[in-house]
Amino acid sequence: MNEMIKPWKEKGIARGEFEFSCGGDSMNETDFTFYDSQDNQVDADELESYFEGEVYNQVEFYEVSDGHYMGEFGQVV
């Protein structure tokens, strides 16, 4: 995590958003978007790659449907 602080600051990122959708027996879509303090989108492939790995290391998504479970989706800022 500490190695990601430097590029975060260098790029002037104010916030990151992670959107996800899963269910129906698959993970479906995930997306990271980073913004500066003026709400301009910032390209940050290195950060996206890092956080994507951390999300899957730290969060257990339930993507398997038993016919009743419709899935989950959301946005984390």
Q: CA 5: distance to chain centroid?
A: 17
pLDDT in tens, 20-37: 887 666 677 789 999 999
Question: What's residue 26's pLDDT?
Answer: 65
CB contact at 8 A, 17 and 75: yes
Euclidean distance between CA atoms 50 and 1, whole angstroms: 9
Euclidean distance between CA atoms 45 and 51, whole angstroms: 10
pLDDT in tens, 34-77: 999 999 999 999 999 999 889 888 877 665 556 666 667 778 88
H or E stretch at 66: none
Would the pLDDT of 5 be above 60? yes
Question: What's residue 69's pLDDT?
Answer: 62
